[in-house]
């Protein structure tokens, strides 16, 4: 019998790539999605629920029987409109999901945070990401996997000038980022998605943090077929 997965944030760049990887994986027989808007995707393994994340607890039954919850929720302060709303999406919703997952017996919680995540950081973005990591780890889910990528490349379906400019710069600098600087290299979102699925399939217990350079290696190994996804 195959595994069941649940994805939160499937309309985003990483979530969309992750959903594709899960639907293609022979290891998963069922892939649930909680989303704020319809995905426009049809697949026999896909089970989509359009919800209001403010009422996430009302959909606790969607976590039942799930082994792996993938949390790709995230926004920007500009898009959220305020720091308070940013914290809600990047900290409160993931924590609520982790608590529900724990109550429903979920085995693994895999979440995308960010390079530099630190609850003591003076940078608001990094501090919230770090607080979210700490909060999720405190819930007590058997396996917690936190992915800290650098800048992610791919089609977000919307234009963000800052990220587009950053992507151009990072692509230009990529040949120069070697040695210790390699950890800052940008990567395609698909690489992160493949790394997340690869780690999920190991079923490893405990709390694990994956920095940018490790994610890149894991994702490339999965792409080359070293890990069966």
Active-site residue set: 125, 129
Task: Give counts: helices (H), strands (E), the chain.
Answer: 8, 9
Which helix (H) or strand (E) segment holds residue 51: the answer is none
CA distance 212 to 117: 12
Q: How far apart are CA 62 and CA 57, in angstroms?
A: 10
Instruction: Please give the helix or strand (H or E) that residue 125 lies within, else none.
Output: helix 124-137
Q: 47-77 as b/e, with b when 16 or more CB fall inside 10 Å?
A: ebeebebeebeebeebbeebbbbbbbbbbeb
Q: Are strands 108-112 and 152-153 parallel, antiparallel or unpaired?
A: unpaired
Q: Phi/psi at 208 (nearest 5 deg)?
A: -135, 135
Q: Are 6 and 71 in contact (CB under 8 A)?
A: no
């Amino acid at each position: 019998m195959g595994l069941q997965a649940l994805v939160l944030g499937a309309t985003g760049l990483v979530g969309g790539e992750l959903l594709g990887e899960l639907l293609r994986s022979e290891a998963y027989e069922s892939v649930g999605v909680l989303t704020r808007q319809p995905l426009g995707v049809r697949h026999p393994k896909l089970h989509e629920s359009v919800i209001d994340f403010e009422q996430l607890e009302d959909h606790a039954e969607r976590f039942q029987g799930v082994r792996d919850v993938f949390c790709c929720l995230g926004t920007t302060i500009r898009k959220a409109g305020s720091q308070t709303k940013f914290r809600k999406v990047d900290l409160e919703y993931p924590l609520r999901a982790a608590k529900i997952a724990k109550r429903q017996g979920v085995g693994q919680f895999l979440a995308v945070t960010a390079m530099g995540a630190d609850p003591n950081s003076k940078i608001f973005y990094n501090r919230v990401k770090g607080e979210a990591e700490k909060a999720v780890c405190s819930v007590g889910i058997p396996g917690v996997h936190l992915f800290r990528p650098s800048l992610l490349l791919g089609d977000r379906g919307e234009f963000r000038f800052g990220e587009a400019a950053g992507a151009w710069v990072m692509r230009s600098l990529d040949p120069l980022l070697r040695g210790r600087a390699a950890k800052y290299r940008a990567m395609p979102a698909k690489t992160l998605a493949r790394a997340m699925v690869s780690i999920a399939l190991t079923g490893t217990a405990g709390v694990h943090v994956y920095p940018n350079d490790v994610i890149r290696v894991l994702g490339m190994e999965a792409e080359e077929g070293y890990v069966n996804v």
